[in-house]
Amino acid sequence: MRILGIDPGLRNLGWGVIEAQGSRLSHVANGILHSEGADLARRLLSLHEQLTDILHRYAPETAAVEHTFVNKDGAGTLKLGQARAIALLVPAQFGIAVGEYAPNAVKKTVVGVGHAQKGQVDHMVRMQLPGADIAGPDAADALAVAICHAYQGAASTRLEQAVRRASA
């Protein structure tokens, strides 16, 4: 299964694509999209166009997006939420199911600790995807989201399939 992980951000949106075959994971690609434009609408459009290109190029079968981290700056949180909406919208336009994960759940899955530091996440992503040339911290976070989805989402998918078989 090809999985797209997204770490939403208005200035820098991290993305990472992995292949999951059972518990075996392999790196496909990763990067950071930078929004362009003077106003919010142009920046969101820029992210939409760039993320659409990533989906065309790598054809993921599923996607996962990290939940918005709420901070004291309400305006900043709102803008981040709008970038997150683009991260949810683009895969939906491709008919792809999107999983959503809290930052602590991603860190716990990848590092084993829910309050891990960025450096720890980067290290564990590199351990699980040997040889991956990671574009930066936002891309490492996106790959971590994809890894989380590979483990968490796979279990959910197997459960759904078992329920469908039992109902038939």
Q: Which of 23-27, 60-64, 79-83 has the lowest mean pLDDT?
A: 79-83
User: Which residues fall in the annotated binding site for Mg(2+)?
Assistant: 7, 66, 138
User: Which residues fall in the annotated binding site?
Assistant: 7, 66, 138
Indicate the domain borders of the chain: 2-167
Q: pTM for this one? A: 0.89
Homologous superfamily (CATH) for 2-167 = Ribonuclease H-like superfamily/Ribonuclease H (3.30.420.10)
Mean pLDDT throughout 31-43?
A: 95
Q: Which CB contacts under 8 angstroms, 24+ apart, belong to 66-74?
A: 66/6, 66/7, 66/8, 66/100, 66/101, 66/102, 66/103, 66/106, 66/141, 66/145, 67/100, 67/101, 67/102, 67/103, 68/8, 69/103
Catalytic residues: 7, 66, 138
